[in-house]
């Protein structure tokens, strides 16, 4: 009996591609990998599901893209300068993205966010030296929005209010980058795009551009199934302050995902795919599987907004469900 062993060629320094030269942190944002799945996706050759691994951004989430876009546009227009403080509300990830970019560019930052965001997010923001104002957790992200508006109204000359929920530079970041990356990475084969609604920037910007690239693409949004939910970063639009950039007409369909579904899928992704992702990513996978169940063939792409390392203190990991 003979055993065939695959040999791996040894490479020399001359064989390897040259490494890129020095780069600043903003240049590392975007061009994230597109992931496939081995076990969770049903084995049907006609339907493929892929996800953008947005934790590969240097700030660890999809929010690096709009934060960069918002700040660079503010610099270009003269709204942001060294004598001003960038201020905004956040559930965590955009605040971390602002903190990283402001530290790199020498700006001061003040963030308002609900006090019940994960311990890890608070620690990361503190590490960047961010000034944090905590708001009532029962008011969710809307309470943080109201508080930051009060702060700006008190001293408008002191602040640049980045206003991620209403700033068109948010969705434009995804129009310019995320959509083009997805289209290229799927070689134009994408048939369905699935993304959650928070500020709505990822869904709105990516969908608008994908429909220009390929009009038949179906764009499906999803959101929590109730006003009281555990999906950090996502909004139940019927009960929330609607973002100014949100355009419900962009969606061909809108789905709901429960907190329990998202928690369960987040655990499955870690234990069955080796992907330690955040809760909104679990929700995205649950929504993508709902879409897959209703079609015979297609290429579905969703967005995994961040990794699970910002949520390890959450109790849902300990469930055996």
**Taking CA 197 as the corner, what is the angle to CA 63 and CA 281, rounded to the nearest 5 degrees?**
65
Same domain, 137 and 194: no
Same domain, 227 and 101: no
Residue 225 lies in a domain: yes
Average pLDDT, the chain: 92
Residue 14 confidence (pLDDT) above 70: no
The per-residue pLDDT for range 154-164, each reduced to its tens digit, is 999 999 999 99
The per-residue pLDDT for range 134-146, each reduced to its tens digit, is 999 999 889 999 9
Q: Quick one: tokens of 139?
A: 């008011």
User: CB atoms < 10 A from the CB of 129, how many?
Assistant: 11
Range of the domain at 43: 25-57+177-318
The stretch 269-281 carries a mean pLDDT of 97
Would you state the pLDDT for residue 91? Answer: 86
Residue 35 lies in a domain: yes
Same domain, 108 and 215: no
The per-residue pLDDT for range 39-79, each reduced to its tens digit, is 998 777 799 999 999 999 999 999 999 999 999 999 999 99
Same domain, 207 and 273: yes
Confidence class for position 172, pLDDT limits 50, 70, 90: very high
Same domain, 138 and 238: no
Cβ-based neighbours of 7, under 8 Å, separated by 6 or more:
none
Confidence class for position 18, pLDDT limits 50, 70, 90: low
Q: Which of 133, 161, 189 is the last residue of a domain?
A: 161
Would you state the pLDDT for residue 120? Answer: 92
Confidence class for position 17, pLDDT limits 50, 70, 90: low
Same domain, 141 and 243: no
Which has the closest alpha carbon to 27: 106, 126, 100? 100
Residue 14 lies in a domain: no
Please tell me what DSSP assigns to residue 155.
-
Strand order in the sheet with 131-135: 131-135, 108-114, 85-89, 159-161
Cβ-based neighbours of 107, under 8 Å, separated by 6 or more:
71, 80, 82, 84, 85, 86
Q: Which of 135, 161, 187 is the last residue of a domain?
A: 161
Active site residue 280: yes
Would you state the pLDDT for residue 23? Answer: 82
Confidence class for position 118, pLDDT limits 50, 70, 90: confident
| H, E, C per residue of the chain | CCCCCCCCCCCCCCCCCCCCCCCCHHHHCCCCCEECCCCCCCCCCCEEEEEEEHHHCCCCECCHHHHHHHHHHHHHHCCCCCCCEEEEECCCHHHHHHHHHHHHHCCEEEEEEECCCCHHHHHHHHHCCCEEEEECHHHHHHHHHHHHHHHHHHCHHHEEECCCCCCHHHHHHHHHHHHHHHHHHCCCCCCEEEEECCCCHHHHHHHHHHHHHCCCCEEEEEEECCCCCCCCCCCCHHHCCCCCCCCHHHCCEEEEECHHHHHHHHHHHHHHHCCCECHHHHHHHHHHHHHHHCCCCEEEEEEECEEHHHCCCCHHHHCCC
Taking each helix axis as running N to C, give the angle between helix 93-105 and helix 64-77, from 0 to 180 degrees, rounded to the nearest 10: 50
Q: Which of 126, 161, 196 is the last residue of a domain?
A: 161
Residue 15 confidence (pLDDT) above 70: no
* Structural domains of the chain, count: 2
Cα–Cα distance list, 193 to 182, 189, 217 (Å):
9, 11, 7
Q: Which CATH number covers residue 118?
A: 3.40.50.1100
Residue 6 confidence (pLDDT) above 60: no
Task: Give the separation between CA 156 and CA 260, rounded to whole angstroms.
Answer: 42
Same domain, 182 and 305: yes
Q: Among 280, 281, 307, 310, which one carries the catalytic annotation?
A: 280
Residue 69 lies in a domain: yes
Same domain, 33 and 69: no
Range among 13-17, 190-194, 226-230 with highest mean pLDDT value: 190-194
Active site residue 68: no
Residue 15 lies in a domain: no
Q: Among 63, 68, 235, 310, which one carries the catalytic annotation?
A: 63
Same domain, 206 and 311: yes
Same domain, 249 and 185: yes
Residue 214 lies in a domain: yes
Same domain, 185 and 50: yes
Would you state the pLDDT for residue 16? Answer: 54
Residue 18 lies in a domain: no
The per-residue pLDDT for range 281-301, each reduced to its tens digit, is 999 999 999 999 999 999 999
Would you state the pLDDT for residue 13? Answer: 44
Residue 172 lies in a domain: no
Same domain, 142 and 88: yes
């Amino acid at each position: 009996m003979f055993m065939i062993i695959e040999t791996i060629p040894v490479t020399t320094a001359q064989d390897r591609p040259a490494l890129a030269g020095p780069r600043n942190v903003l240049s590392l944002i975007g061009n994230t990998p597109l992931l496939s799945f081995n076990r969770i996706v049903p084995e049907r050759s006609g339907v493929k599901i892929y996800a953008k691994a947005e934790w590969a951004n240097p700030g660890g989430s999809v929010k690096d893209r709009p934060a960069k876009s918002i700040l660079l546009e503010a610099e270009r227009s003269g709204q942001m300068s060294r004598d001003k403080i960038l201020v905004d509300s956040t559930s965590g990830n955009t605040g971390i993205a602002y903190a990283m970019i402001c530290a790199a560019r020498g700006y001061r930052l003040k963030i308002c966010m609900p006090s019940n965001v994960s311990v890890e997010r608070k620690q990361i923001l503190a590490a960047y030296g961010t000034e944090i104002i905590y708001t009532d957790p029962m008011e969710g992200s809307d309470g943080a929005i109201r508080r930051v508006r009060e702060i700006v109204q008190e001293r408008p000359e002191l602040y640049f209010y980045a206003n991620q929920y209403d700033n068109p530079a948010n969705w434009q970041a995804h129009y310019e980058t995320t959509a083009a990356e997805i289209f290229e990475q799927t070689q134009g084969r994408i048939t369905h795009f699935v993304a959650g609604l928070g500020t709505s920037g990822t869904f709105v910007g990516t969908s608008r551009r994908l429909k220009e690239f390929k009009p038949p693409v179906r764009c499906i949004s999803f959101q929590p199934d109730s006003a009281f939910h555990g999906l950090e970063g996502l909004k139940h639009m019927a009960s929330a302050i609607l973002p100014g950039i949100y355009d419900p007409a962009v969606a061909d369909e809108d789905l709901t995902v429960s907190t329990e579904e998202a928690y369960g899928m987040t655990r499955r992704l870690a234990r069955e795919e080796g992907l330690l992702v955040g809760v909104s990513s679990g929700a995205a996978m649950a929504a993508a599987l709902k879409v897959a169940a209703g079609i015979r063939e297609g290429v579905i792409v969703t967005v995994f907004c961040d990794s699970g390392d910002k949520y390890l203190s959450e109790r849902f990991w300990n469930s055996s469900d």
